[in-house]
Amino acid sequence: MAMECIATVPRRFSENKTKEDSSIFDAKLLNQHSNHIPQQFVWPDHEKPSTDVQPLQVPLIDLAGFLSGDSFLVSEATRLVSEAATKHGFFLVTNHGVDESLLSRAYLHMDSFFKAPACEKQKAQRKWGESSGYASSFVGRFSSKLPWKETLSFKFSPEEKIHTETVKEYVSKKMGDGYEDFGKVYQEYAEAMNTLSLKIMELLGMSLGLERRYFREFFEENESIFRLNYYPQCKQPELALGTGPHCDPTSLTILHQDQVGGLQVFVDNKWQSIPPNPHSFVVNIGDTFMALTNGRYKSCLHRAVVNSERERKTFAFFLCPKGEKVVKPPEELVGGVMSGQREYPDFTWSMFLEFTQKHYRADMNTLEEFSIWLKNRKSF
Ligand SMILES: C=C1C[C@]23C[C@H]1CC[C@H]2[C@]1(C)CCC[C@@](C)(C(=O)O)[C@H]1[C@@H]3C(=O)O
Ligand SMILES: O=C(O)CCC(=O)C(=O)O
Ligand SMILES: [Fe+2]
């Protein structure tokens, strides 16, 4: 990997930062230079991490069992998914068919990128309003409650459907020579997530009493986001958050976390942890899928905490429909035995994504705020 740039020492964080300032967040240097984290990374008391967090029991779905067609295994999988998705939207998937060696290669390459000098990472710097690219500290985007993480996000569409820039082409364009293997492993990972997400869409469709292919066809052509989350060690983890409290605005999130732990979900009025399980993926419903089910399946509040001992790494694949597809629930989930009441307006993912990238920081109210924003736009 080319290291032609000279490591730049990041300018110190000071109170009078302007939004335009793209100060480099180099946690290693921040950690070495002070026992206190910059004020911009300190969260308000009511959002600071809690200490006595217990594990949340989420069902472990045997995906191979579901796909085998065995009637008992199918009914067991659909029952467990229906219960979890109706309550909090989180479940684990095992026997998923993703190659373990792909996972270990993906983690290895993550180290090589996030441990590179800041100016090397900045070659892929996220541009304002864009959902792809490298982001550190988010200081150019938010002025307070900064997440203690660095992220590298890619756009992904299954090539056989619409030819868009692939992950490996993006990496080559942004990072140049020496990143061929890096681009290849994340292209392969994103393709594996696309395959896995469509299988899960079959399971979700059946669990709602729809045709098995209903949601699979809705997402066959997708314009998804694949994100690497790197959470450096933090000197004051009791004051910071790796990722703040939010519901994913997307449709379905497939997350792999390393062995460190830190993902928490707000269920039954308290924060509960999802312990690491290397052989499974954490899957959660997002706002867009909640709208597609007319509110039947829940997009749930969650966050990531950090620690002072170990860095933490996770991969998040966010399945999103084609940008211009209209997001509206099937009649079966609105009429019939249902109240006939629509919970959310029709919208497109491209509008919702633009809302989160240019107008509103995703939190626990994103979908409601977006619905209001849409109505206000229409009344002009
Ligand atoms: C569509 C997206 C916006 C975010 C990345 C994906 C799905 C999750 C969103 C996010 C992680 C929710 C918390 C706030 C956020 C700003 C972050 O911490 O990164 C969100 C992402 C984003 O807007 O970049
Ligand atoms: O990294 C994690 O544990 C969660 C990250 C997350 O929720 C997100 O990126 O949307
Ligand atoms: Fe999330």
Distance 248 CA to ligand 2 centre (A): 9
3-state secondary structure string, the chain? Answer: CCCCCCCCCCCCCCCCCCCCCCCCCCHHHHHHHCCCCCHHHCCCHHHCCCCCCEECCCCEEEHHHHHHCCHHHHHHHHHHHHHHHHHCCEEEEECCCCCHHHHHHHHHHHHHHHCCCHHHHHHHECCCCCCCEEEECCCCCCCCCCCCCEEEEEEECCCCCCCCCCHHHHHHHHHCCCCHHHHHHHHHHHHHHHHHHHHHHHHHHHHCCCCCCHHHHHHHCECEEEEEEEECCCCCCCCCCCEEEECCCCCEEEEEECCCCCEEEEECCEEEECCCCCCCEEEEECHHHHHHCCCCCCCCCEEECCCCCCCEEEEEEEECECCCCEECCCHHHCCCCCCCCCCCCCEEHHHHHHHHHHHCCCCCCHHHHHHHHHHHHHCC
Q: What average pLDDT does the chain have?
A: 91
Confidence of residue 160 (pLDDT cuts 50, 70, 90): low
Ligand 3 mean position to 320 CA, how many Å? 14
Q: Residue 18: its pLDDT value, please?
A: 37
The pLDDT-based confidence of 252 (bands split at 50, 70, 90) is very high
Across 152-168, average pLDDT = 81
What is the average per-residue pLDDT within 46-71? 97
Distance set, CA 232 to CA 149, 179, 373 (Å): 6, 22, 35
pLDDT score of 137: 73
For the CA of 286, the closest atom of ligand 1 is 7
Q: How far apart are CA 89 and CA 83, in angstroms?
A: 9
pLDDT at residue 138 is higher than 50: yes
Is 105 a residue of the active site? no
- Give the mutation target among 142, 154, 246 for probing the ligand 1 site: most ligand atoms within 8 A of CB: 246
Joined tokens for residue 109: 């390459």
d(CA 199, CA 220): 11
Q: How confident is the model at residue 223 (pLDDT cuts 50, 70, 90)?
A: very high
pLDDT of residue 9: 39
Q: Which ligand is nearest to the CA of 246?
A: 1
Q: What separation in Å is there between the alpha carbon of 1 and the centre of ligand 3? A: 30
Annotated active-site residue in 312, 342, 361, 377: 312
Of the segments 9-23, 75-89, 326-340, which one has the largest average pLDDT value? 75-89
pLDDT for res 33: 75
Looking at residue 346, its pLDDT comes to 97
Q: Whose CA is nearest to atom 1 of ligand 2?
A: 314
Angle at CA of residue 244, ends 236 and 129, nearest 5°: 120
- Is the pLDDT at 263 greater than 70? The verdict is yes
Whether residue 352 is predicted with pLDDT greater than 90 in this model: the reply is yes
- Token pair 């990496």 is found at 171
What does the pLDDT read at residue 378?
A: 79
Predicted TM-score (pTM) of the model is 0.94
* Percent residues over pLDDT 70 in the chain: 89
d(CA 317, ligand 1 centre) in Å? 12
Binned at pLDDT 50, 70 and 90, residue 140 comes out as confident
Which residue's C-alpha comes closest to atom 8 of ligand 2? 316
Q: What is the Å distance from ligand 1's center to 152 Cα? A: 12
Check whether 32 has a pLDDT greater than 90.
no
Mutate to test the pocket of ligand 1, among 356, 358, 370 (most ligand atoms within 8 A of CB): 356
Around ligand 1, the residues with Cβ closer than 6 Å are: 147, 225, 243-244, 246, 248-250, 318, 353, 356, 361-362
**What is the distance, to the nearest Å, from the Cα of residue 97 to the centroid of all Cα atoms in its chain?**
21
What pLDDT score was predicted for residue 34?
79
Which pLDDT score, from 0 to 100, does residue 19 have?
40
Instruction: Say which range, 2-6, 118-122, 136-140, 156-160, has the weakest mean pLDDT.
Output: 2-6
In angstroms, the CA 224 to CA 230 distance is: 20
Nearest CA to ligand 2 atom 3: 263
